[in-house]
Amino acid sequence: MGGTNDILGIVLAAGEGTRMKSARPKVLHEVAGRSLVGHAMASAQVAGVARLGVVIGPDRPDVAKEVEKRAPEAKVFEQRERRGTAHAVLQATPLLEAGCAALVVLFGDTPLVRPESIRALAEAVQTGNTAVAVMGFEARDPTGYGRLITQGDTLLAIREHKDASETERAIRLCNSGLMAIRGTLALDLLREVKANNAQNEFYLTDVVALARAAGHGATYVLAPEEDALGVNDRVQLSVCEGVLQRRLREQHMRAGVTLIAPETVFFSLDTELGRDVLVEPNVVFGPGVKVESGAIIHAFSHLEGAVVRAGATVGPFARLRPGADLGEGAKVGNFVEIKKATLGREAKVSHLTYIGDAEVGEDANIGAGTITCNYDGFSKYITRIGAGAFIGSNTALVAPVTIGAGATVGAGSVITHDVEPDALALTRAPTKALPGWAKAFRERPENVAKAKKKS
């Protein structure tokens, strides 16, 4: 229920993003494992925004689904005609009519804005005579940006680059687009915006002049240029990814994680790493990864949706897929893939192995080349390997199957039935040797002739 003591956030996410040259809407492209619009909503929520509206383009169930996934309580509105930013905000009129202390307008393609910048905007319009606050930044190259014309802390006007004089174009204080409006004035000011421009659109920036004309104050909040980075094409998407990865690397290292070559490690926003975790070069953390203290992630490993418990080791060249759960001190070695499987304490899967849909007991040892045959083309089945079991190299475990605790499976076996605890299971054919066969084969006339042609 809306009141006068809360902050309302409206995220504009209706742009087509044609410069992305993509079948996907621009706001669904990702940085650090989260959609652009997801980043904007998350920052708003952390900033203390009590109610959230998202304005999307027409016939975009995919964007609506992402909003519901990231912020189930958010209200979704469609902008069926693209008539400018002020017009987009007014699509959320039901939220504005409910009242708020401050309205903050954000953009679904500006993923790096930090919660503290959003809070500063909202606070600026809740004190004194200030009705409008704009987030500004000092641009290294201001070309193309709207300039903030100021006098002290007072915002006099926003001048678009094409309309600015030479003196104004020398100003480096630029408009990010993000804006806060005092809640009691927001709806009236937005409704006063006119489409008096060549594009026949309603621009949110006109609110500054309208507020000042009505005798209200306007100001700006200074934020780092990074906060204002928007995404219009794939190049800008990569720039945002780079900025966010740098922030995440610094965050983890300051929290007690060692990154040997930080610039080669890539994180998702939700990656959790405990103290004294060591990460070697060229590691990728997909969404949903938690690594506990003292674990080691060796080079060239890829983790997603996985838990690595204290003291475990992964890699090099290992892949942990969703549902992988490695117990304390467990080892997953080179060229091993784990999917939807738990490894008990000190279990070892050292190399060249696939373990999927499985439960592996503590101290079990899985030999090289072992696979769990978990899929028959229609359904998935579970393999259970008991504590202390030893699985020889090049073994196929055809699920559903259980290997008892302490059992041994001989190398090269195909196991299709349960194995009792402490038993030995073998499906190996006896070795048969034919003396002199190889020599006789080589000396066949046709083979001798072929050998001469090769030489």
- Over residues 304-309, mean pLDDT: 98
Contacting residues for 218 by C-beta, under 8 A, at least 6 apart: 130, 131, 132, 133, 134, 154, 155, 156, 208, 211, 212
Residue in 29, 2, 27 with CA at minimum distance from that of residue 14: 27
410 token code pair = 């001989």
Instruction: Evaluate if residue 4 carries a pLDDT over 50.
Output: no
- Over residues 364-391, mean pLDDT: 97
Q: Which domains does the chain have, with CATH numbers?
A: 7-228 (3.90.550.10), 234-425 (2.160.10.10)
Q: What does DSSP say about strands 154-159 and 147-151: parallel, antiparallel, or unpaired?
A: antiparallel
At 320, give phi and psi (nearest 5°).
-110, 115
Instruction: Evaluate if residue 164 carries a pLDDT over 90.
Output: no
What is the pTM (predicted TM-score) of this model?
0.87
Instruction: Evaluate if residue 150 carries a pLDDT over 70.
Output: yes
Residue in 338, 340, 363 with CA at minimum distance from that of residue 353: 338
Q: What is the pLDDT of residue 362?
A: 98
Catalytic residue ranges: 351
CA 111 to CA 108: how far, in whole Å?
Answer: 7
Instruction: Evaluate if residue 372 carries a pLDDT over 70.
Output: yes
CA 119 to CA 153: how far, in whole Å?
Answer: 17
CA 120 to CA 243: how far, in whole Å?
Answer: 22
Q: What is the pLDDT of residues 400-419, one digit of tens each?
A: 999 999 999 999 999 999 99
Q: What is the pLDDT of residue 3?
A: 41
Instruction: Evaluate if residue 60 carries a pLDDT over 70.
Output: yes
Instruction: Evaluate if residue 161 carries a pLDDT over 90.
Output: no
User: How many C-beta atoms surround the C-beta of residue 150 within 10 A?
Assistant: 17
Dihedral sign, Cα of residue 76, residue 77, residue 83, residue 86: negative
Q: What does DSSP say about strands 30-31 and 34-35: parallel, antiparallel, or unpaired?
A: antiparallel
For residues 315 and 298, the answer to whether their CB atoms sit within 8 Å is yes
